[in-house]
Homo-oligomer: A and B are copies of this chain.
Amino acid sequence: MSGERLAVLTGGQLAESYAKTAHGVLRYGTREVVCVIDPVHAGRPAVDVVPFCASPAPVVADVATARDLGATTVLLGVAPLGGRLTAAWRETLLAALRMGLHVEAGLHTDLGADPELAAAARAAGVGIRDLRAVPADLGVPLAEPVGAQVVHTVGSDCAIGKMSVVLELDRAARARGLGSVFVATGQTGVAISGWGMAVDHVISDFVAGAADRLVREGADRGDLLWLEGQGSIYHPAYSGVTLGLLHGSSADALVLCHRAGRTAVFDYPGTALPPLPEIVRGYEQAAGWVRPARVAAVALNTAGLDDAAARRAVDDAAAETGLVADDVVRFGAARVLDAVLAALPG
């Protein structure tokens, strides 16, 4: 929407990895962000809380302050486990609607279908945009070539930066003049790029069909597609989304995303992760059940490490796997991009 100015709501969690929609929009979004709403971090600039955030937006304590700063839309910037509306979020979003602000969110809860929220929006003459809304006519994948080269990020876990990695690689590829396109598969990616689909909200029968549709839409926009990954084949709750996306993607190459030092699934600490080379093999086996694809490089998330430790972690990952490895957010996307382009057919 033109003239739109976002206030990104994180309600105390701006520093947490659950605030990934906020982090993505602050780092990569092309839409204007007026402020972040977060009482815990209020008074500081967002860049002090969110690493690698280029936005000058301040953090304010409440919706009223955001409105006074000129915000037109409150974007819910947190994706809680399970994705449902909590009582606290409900109160804040209701307040925003009653102040005449639009609301945008990517929960599994359909806010537009909520009687109380819908009534408040109607009364104030504002809109509720559901970033997870999906087309009603999805089906199964076509058995036809896609007409573009597809690179897909896969990961050892959730919320470790699979979207940031494809955004960095897309940005670097465009800087080289390539016909590169970011293809969003989650609500944050849709919030950033303005198109795509939140595949985790699709009926499970249609996940692969949704991925197939997205890469075909992407092929109309460019010839080098960066398809955002979701979840992990090692994640007890979300592995089905991951495999459906992988099999529907027609991927020509994979980039494996990993959080340095992580040895178990974050949400399920009892579920251990295997060593990195085994994760590479796991994804190549899983892809090969339908269509072979190799892991071309490892994108390591070294957040929390100092530079020397980050370099060591990158070197270790490269030595362990025999692949190019780098932290593309911290050290730049060039080396991983080179490895991916060398791995693509043709």
Interface residues of A (CB under 8 A from B): 81-84, 108, 139-141, 143, 199-205, 207-209, 233-245, 247-248, 267-268, 270-271, 282, 285-286, 289-291
> Measured between C-beta atoms, what is the minimum distance from A75 to chain B in Å?
20
Chain B CB count within 10 A is highest, among A83, A239, A240, A242, for A240
Interface centre among A205, A271, A285 (most CB of B within 10 A): A205
Q: With a CB–CB cut-off of 8 A, which chain B residues contact A244?
A: 204, 239-241, 243
CB <8 Å contact, A139 and B204: no
* CB < 8 Å neighbour of A241 from B204, B237, B282: B204
CB pair A282 B271 closer than 8 Å: no
Known: A143-B268, A282-B285. 14 other contacts (CB 8 A): A82-B140, A201-B203, A202-B203, A204-B204, A205-B237, A205-B238, A205-B241, A209-B237, A235-B290, A236-B247, A239-B290, A240-B245, A243-B244, A271-B290
CB within 8 Å for A243 and B236 given contacts A202-B204, A203-B203, A203-B204: no
Query: Min CB distance, A233 to chain B, in Å?
Result: 5
Please list the 9 inter-chain residue pairs (A to B) with the smallest Cβ-Cβ separation, ordered nearest first. Answer: A240-B244, A140-B237, A200-B205, A240-B240, A204-B204, A207-B240, A243-B243, A204-B241, A204-B207
Secondary structure type dominating chain A contacts:
mixed
- Report how far A209 CA is from B239 CA in the complex, Å: 11
A204 CA to B204 CA, complexed, in Å: 4
- C-alpha spacing A200/B201, complex, angstroms: 13
19 contacts between A and B (CB under 8 A): A84-B139, A140-B267, A143-B236, A143-B270, A143-B271, A200-B205, A201-B204, A201-B205, A204-B207, A233-B243, A233-B289, A236-B290, A239-B243, A239-B289, A242-B243, A243-B243, A243-B244, A271-B291, A282-B289
A238–B203 touching, CB < 8 Å: no
Contact between chains at B204 and A290 (CB < 8 Å): no
Smallest Cβ-Cβ distance to A290: which chain B residue: B236
Complex: how many Å from CA A286 to CA B288? 13
Q: Are B240 and A208 in contact (CB under 8 A)?
A: yes
CA distance A234 to B239 in the complex (A): 15
